[in-house]
Amino acid sequence: MPELPEVETIKNDLLKKVVGSQITSVSYTSEGQKLISKAGQDLTDLLPGNKIKSIERKAKYLVLELSGGKKLIFHLKLTGRILVRNGSNPNDEFVRLVLALNDGREIRFADRNGFGEVKLIGAGEEVDQDLGPDPFEVSVQQFNLLINQTGKETIKETLLDQKTISGVGNIYADEALYLAGINPFRSPRALSTNETAKLLDSIKQVLNEGIKHRGTTIDSYRDTDGRPGTHQFHLLVYGKAGKPCKKCATRIEYTEIKGRRTHFCPNCQPKEQLALF
Ligand SMILES: [Zn+2]
C-alpha cells in the first residue's frame, strides 16, 4: 500500500513532468466506471481545458491544483498507480482513468483491486478534514499531546490512525518503532516524553529513507514510469520474521495487532520498559 514516501515520490515525479500541461480530454475504461459513482461526479466534462498548476501531497493524497482553482485529488489506497506515458504506449494493466495532455502524453490512473479514489474538489475545500498533521510538520510537543490523547490501546495502532498523524502506514510504522526501540504493543499513554521525541525522529528518518529510495515495493507500488521503488532492500524489520535483528541478532518476531501485520525485535523493543527516563 502506498504510504507517505511512495506518494511523495509520485508527487516529485509529477512536479517535473506535468506542471504547465493542459488536460485536453478525459476517458474512463470499463473498469473505471465505478470511480464515477464513488465520487458522484464524471470528470469527462469537468477537466478538459484546465492546466495543471502545481502538485501537492497531503498525507497519502495526491493533489493536482488546476488553473480553474479546483483541485483533483487521488487516493491510491491499496494498489493504485499514477503513470505518465507517451500516447498509448506501453499498454498498462488495470487502467481506469486517462487524462490526455496537450503534448500527446497521458496521465493514467491504474488500480488492480479498485479501492482507489479520484475526486475534483473546490478551491476552498479540504482534501480530508479528519487528517492529523503531517509527520514532517508536527512539533515534538504537538506529537506528544496527540499520542497522549489517542483512544488507541497500542502505539502501533496509534501510528496507523490517520487522525493522529497522517501518512504513516504499516511498513514505516514497524520500521520507526524498531528504530526508536519501542515495543508496538505498548500503550501510547505510557511512553515518556523522551520516547515520543525519539519516535518522531525515527518516523521522519524512515520516511526520508523511503523517499531517498523512491518508495517501497512489496507488491504493487510503481513510480510514474512504472518502475518499482528500492526501499524494500533496506527494511530492518518489516517482512523479516525469523531473521536475525541487525542490532542484536535476536530473531525478529511476527504478530498481528488488530489484524495488521507487525514485526519487531523482542530484545531491542522490550514490552516492559524500565523507567529510565
Ligand atoms: Zn534486536
Grid cell listed for 245: 535483528
Q: How far apart are CA 71 and CA 101, in angstroms?
A: 17
Domain count, the chain: 2
Q: Over the stretch 90-109, which tens digit does the pLDDT of each residue have?
A: 899 999 999 999 999 999 99
For residue 276, the CA-to-ligand 1 centroid distance in Å is 19
172 by Cβ neighbours in 10 Å (0-12 / 13-18 / 19+) ranks as buried
Question: Would 28 be classed as within a structural domain?
Answer: yes
Instruction: Give the length of the chain.
Output: 277
243 catalytic, yes or no? Answer: no
Is the domain of 114 the same as that of 145?
Answer: no
Q: Contacts for 208-211 with beta carbons within 8 Å, 24 or more apart?
A: 209/234, 210/3, 210/4, 210/5, 210/6, 210/172, 211/5, 211/8, 211/9
Domain that holds residue 100: 4-121
Q: In degrees, to the nearest 5, what angle opens at C-alpha 107 toward C-alphas 40 and 171?
A: 80
Question: Would 134 be classed as within a structural domain?
Answer: no
For residue 243, the CA-to-ligand 1 centroid distance in Å is 10
For residue 186, the CA-to-ligand 1 centroid distance in Å is 17
Is the domain of 239 the same as that of 190?
Answer: yes
Residue that terminates a domain, selected from 65, 91, 121: 121
For residue 262, the CA-to-ligand 1 centroid distance in Å is 15
- Which of the 8 DSSP states describes residue 245? P
Q: How far apart are CA 266 and CA 182, in angstroms?
A: 10
Question: Is the dihedral angle over the CA atoms 231, 233, 239, 241 positive or is it negative?
Answer: negative
pTM higher than 0.85 for the full model? Answer: yes
* Nearest C-alpha neighbor of 168 from the set 255, 9, 58, 60: 60
Mean pLDDT of the chain: 95
pLDDT exceeds cutoff 60 at 1: yes
pLDDT exceeds cutoff 90 at 45: yes
2 catalytic, yes or no? Answer: yes
* Nearest C-alpha neighbor of 182 from the set 266, 58, 276: 266
Is the domain of 65 the same as that of 149?
Answer: no
260 catalytic, yes or no? Answer: yes
For residue 249, the CA-to-ligand 1 centroid distance in Å is 6
Marked catalytic residue, from 2, 5, 135, 188: 2
Question: Would 199 be classed as within a structural domain?
Answer: yes
Grid cell listed for 105: 502524453
Q: Over the stretch 188-244, which tens digit does the pLDDT of each residue have?
A: 999 999 999 999 999 999 999 999 999 999 988 999 999 999 999 999 999 999 999
Alpha helices by DSSP H, listed for the chain, are: 4-17, 33-39, 43-46, 140-149, 155-160, 170-180, 193-212
Question: Would 127 be classed as within a structural domain?
Answer: no
Q: What is the pLDDT of residue 277?
A: 46
Mean pLDDT over 53-77 rounds to 95
Q: In degrees, to the nearest 5, what angle opens at C-alpha 92 toward C-alphas 86 and 98?
A: 65
pLDDT exceeds cutoff 70 at 72: yes
Grid cell listed for 21: 500541461
Is the domain of 102 the same as that of 166?
Answer: no
DSSP string, 15-55: HHHTTT-BEEEEEE-GGGHHHHHHHT--HHHHSTT-BEEEE
Question: Would 59 be classed as within a structural domain?
Answer: yes
Q: How far apart are CA 238 and CA 254, in angstroms?
A: 9
Q: Is 73 helix (H, G, I), strand (E, B) or coil?
A: strand
Marked catalytic residue, from 58, 60, 81, 214: 60
For residue 158, the CA-to-ligand 1 centroid distance in Å is 23
Q: Find residue 64's DSSP bridge partners.
A: 55, 72
Marked catalytic residue, from 53, 77, 204, 260: 260
Grid cell listed for 225: 514510469
Is the domain of 257 the same as that of 176?
Answer: yes
